[in-house]
Amino acid sequence: MSVSQTLLALLEPGPRHGYDLKRTYDQRFGQGRPLGYGQVYATLSRLLRNGLVEVAGVESGEGPERKRYTITDAGITDVDRWLRTPEDPQPYLQNSLYTKVVLALLSGRSASAVLDGQRSEHLNVMRSLTRRKNQGDLADQLVCDHALFHLEADLRWLELTAARLGELEKAVR
């Protein structure tokens, strides 16, 4: 996910402080990976330098001055272009799990144990996501569904690979 584009889009409804942007980002998109304040302000500086945001005002008070940022017309155009551009589907043609299975076979270790351990880990994560989904709001439900669908595809691959271990062992030796 593009943090720059997300923060820029969060500015479309109106001017905001960096703290408010961080809080909104973390609440809506930062599940498990909140933004650091340094990342927020470094991103805002870059957006400002690139003419995509501007300072809408500065408030003095206790502590450092607080700047309010607003999106520019160029920023709105940039967000619109980003939203209309499809994400690149990421096929996993080579991943570490496949590598582990092949290396286990090549070394004489149990590839079944590798697959079983991964299956167990996937199921634990799926149970956790299902609990979160059942207790969450619509946003949580959609985010969890996305992750669960990917994990289900991984589980199908694990089962298929387990069923073909004999063939794979012959192919790699």
Taking the C-alpha atoms of residue 11 and residue 69, their distance in angstroms, rounded to an integer, is: 7
Q: Is the pLDDT of residue 1 over 70?
A: no
Specify the CATH architecture of the domain 3-84.
Orthogonal Bundle (1.10)
Helix axes 111-135 and 138-163, enclosed angle (nearest 10): 160
Task: Give percent above pLDDT 90 in the chain.
Answer: 72
pLDDT at 66: 87
Does 92 or 40 have the greater pLDDT score?
A: 40
Give pTM, 2 decimals. 0.71
pLDDT at 138: 92
Q: List Cβ neighbours of 53 (8 Å cut-off, separation of 6 or more).
A: 8, 11, 44, 47, 69, 70, 71, 72, 75
Taking the C-alpha atoms of residue 107 and residue 85, their distance in angstroms, rounded to an integer, is: 45
60: phi then psi, degrees, rounded to nearest 5: -95, 155
Q: Is the pLDDT of residue 94 over 70?
A: no
Whole-number Cα distances in Å, 87 to 135, 150, 153: 29, 16, 19
Taking the C-alpha atoms of residue 127 and residue 114, their distance in angstroms, rounded to an integer, is: 20
Select from 66, 73, 169, 152 the least CA-distant residue to 114: 169
**CA 76-81-86 angle, 5° bins:** 145
- When pLDDT is cut at 50, 70 and 90, the band that residue 173 belongs to is confident
